[in-house]
Amino acid sequence: MLVNNLSVFKILNYKRAALLFAFCASLIIGSNFLLLGSYSRVYGIAGHSISTAIFLTLVFYICAKLRTIYSIYALIYVIIIIPTYLLSTSLQFTGYDYKTFAKIVTDGNMASLIFAALFTVISITISNIANSYLRVFAASINALLVTLLFIHFIMVTAYAFNYGSGPSGAAITALFQTNIIEAYEFVISQGMLGYVACFIILICSPIVFLSAFYINSRIINTQQLSYISTVILIIIGCAVLYNLNLRVTYNSYFAAIQTWIQQKDFKEAVAARANMLDNLNLSDHICEDGLFVVVIGESLTRDHMSVYGYERNTTPWQSSQKNNKNFILFEKPYSSSVTTTASLSLALTSASLKDQATKSASEVPSIVEIANAYGFETTWISNQSRFGFAEVPQTIIANASDNQFWLNKNDNDYGWRTESFDEVVISSLGKALSSEANKKLVIIHLMGQHGNYNHRYPNSFSKWPGNDSDYDNSILYNDFVLKLIYDAVSKDESFKAMVYFSDHGEELGVGHTPDSFTYTMARIPFWISVSDIFAQDNEDVIKAMRSNIDRPFTNDFLFDIVCGLTKMTSNPFYRSGFDVTSKYFDIKPEDVMILNTYKALDDPNY
Ligand SMILES: [Zn+2]
């Protein structure tokens, strides 16, 4: 028995093992050097590097006689390492020092070396499967996984080309919440790069798929790697991986999953919030009656609005409203986030940027839920798509409305084009206004300035020529749509107030993403226009709004602002300190933050 065990050491070729270990160690240090661009900390975390080198030595020792293994290994490693590196580089912008950065990059690199080794070992083992059906099945699954890595690689690389870093959690979340039309428009807006990426995914994926099987079954044919040694290698590989700091390297994905869970919670807590509001008996409480309208804009930065000082006359109607004594244009509004869902899930609920992490989904009613509880008839009119790949919070909030008008027909057929300009909302608005209810809240969600900008306005609004002017032309049209809405609602004798704001801004040529944040992405318009009757009855509100007109605030306070205007203030969720229509508004300029990271006071245009 002992002799048998000792014979293992006899067949062990120490010289070969030592050479392989030296090769693996230099592979790790060499690739670390290429990724870090520096000799400093090129060995990474010593314990991690040694365990990775030992694992790789074991893999190559067992498979050493197969020359093909090295080319397969190199191919898979190249596919895996680039996104890992790009994801790691995105961390450079988040304030990590070099020491931490080097740890993350080297650990990410070693994870890629191990993943590639495991894929290689599994590929070779699959080619040993005797049953041809089973072999085809296993090889297909394996090829599919490699293809997914490949798509991931293209996605991250295309993103990094555009934004200079790998995608953050917020960007990945936004990507999964876009529907097919938006994804298509995104590809178009990327120009050649988008087409090339699609071509590669569509054409190369099947080739990768087929070649993986071909390689498995024809080129490699060996019994050298037994099932038992494969299982052992997978266990050891996973143990080494477990030690690496992957949580940081793949942080974006963890963050995206976390957001998804929060949003799922918000949907699941619908009944809990309804119960809670029922118990408060808010329908007995007094609030303002009449017609209130909230218009949600999309991707509009005030930097391109003449009413905020832009040189082109993009907002003639809003500029003319500055003479209207009941029209209050806030001078320094910002968005709390720079993506639609992140921003609207705070604006439309009692959650705010500061407290969102500490509040559960059952504690933050939406503006629609609270208005329903006070006895308002609520109407939601949207020219945006109802569903992304997943149901987004704004859709869940809209679903609580008494009346809903989903005007974007692409909901059902996932067609390629948005077929209606925003003025399509007017006819549904007419239906909402014809209702007999004495308390009405109408929320209108426009497609606004969402890319592609030239899809957002009819030809008659192409006032300025050239592709660079599409955005400005779309703002000119948006101004016209706002006038149509205002004309329709202000004629209604029950009209009290109209609020307009944008979910976030837009940086031309970049778009809106937390990964390449600029203040232009957060500088939004925010105005409130009230009726003469409302102004007469609420002199204190007008006075408060005028005194707060030049104070900065973020659009996550929309909930409190609408509660303030409608006098739905007797509930425990309303905070007068967040309400710019209240004399108790008390947010200090130095406390106004965007994405919990950027201070409004640091805005160069503040
Ligand atoms: Zn948006």
- Report the C-alpha dihedral over residues 407, 411, 414, 415, rounded to 10 degrees: -10
The Å distance, Cα 476 to ligand 1 centre, comes to 18
Nearest alpha-carbon partner for 594 in 554, 560, 562, 550? 554
Per-residue pLDDT at 22: 95
The Å distance, Cα 173 to ligand 1 centre, comes to 13
Tell whether 192 and 324 lie within a shared domain: no
Domain assignment present for 23: yes
The Å distance, Cα 174 to ligand 1 centre, comes to 10
Each residue of 441-499: pLDDT tens digit?
A: 999 999 999 877 888 999 999 999 988 899 999 999 999 999 999 999 999 999 999 99
The Å distance, Cα 241 to ligand 1 centre, comes to 38
Per-residue pLDDT at 14: 83
Tell whether 164 and 99 lie within a shared domain: yes
Number of domains in the chain: 2
The Å distance, Cα 557 to ligand 1 centre, comes to 17
Strand bridging mode 526-530 / 327-329: antiparallel
Tell whether 67 and 188 lie within a shared domain: yes
Domain assignment present for 194: yes
The Å distance, Cα 493 to ligand 1 centre, comes to 32
- Residue 452: asked if its preceding bond is cis (omega within 30°), the reply is yes
Tell whether 156 and 181 lie within a shared domain: yes
The Å distance, Cα 439 to ligand 1 centre, comes to 29
Tell whether 235 and 279 lie within a shared domain: no
The Å distance, Cα 512 to ligand 1 centre, comes to 8
The Å distance, Cα 503 to ligand 1 centre, comes to 5
Per-residue pLDDT at 102: 81
Domain assignment present for 73: yes
Question: What region does 416 belong to: left with phi over 0, alpha with psi -120 to 50, or beta?
Answer: alpha
The Å distance, Cα 444 to ligand 1 centre, comes to 14
pLDDT along the chain (606 residues), means of 10: 45 82 94 86 92 93 72 77 62 60 82 87 78 78 70 60 60 61 58 60 57 51 68 91 69 65 81 92 91 97 97 97 96 94 92 86 94 96 72 83 85 46 95 95 94 87 92 97 98 97 92 86 98 96 97 97 97 96 96 93 92
**What sections of 91-214 are H helices per DSSP?**
98-126, 132-163, 169-177, 180-189, 192-199, 205-214
Per-residue pLDDT at 24: 94
Tell whether 226 and 342 lie within a shared domain: no
Contact 223, 212 (CB under 8 A): no
Put simply, whether the predicted model's pTM sits higher than 0.85 gets the answer no
Tell whether 588 and 488 lie within a shared domain: yes
Tell whether 115 and 161 lie within a shared domain: yes
Tell whether 318 and 197 lie within a shared domain: no
The Å distance, Cα 343 to ligand 1 centre, comes to 8
Residue span of the structural domain in which 358 resides: 269-388+415-504+527-602
CATH code of 382's domain:
3.40.720.10
The Å distance, Cα 206 to ligand 1 centre, comes to 35
The Å distance, Cα 456 to ligand 1 centre, comes to 14
Tell whether 338 and 445 lie within a shared domain: yes
The Å distance, Cα 399 to ligand 1 centre, comes to 19
Tell whether 90 and 197 lie within a shared domain: yes
Domain boundary among 254, 285, 306: 254
The Å distance, Cα 299 to ligand 1 centre, comes to 5
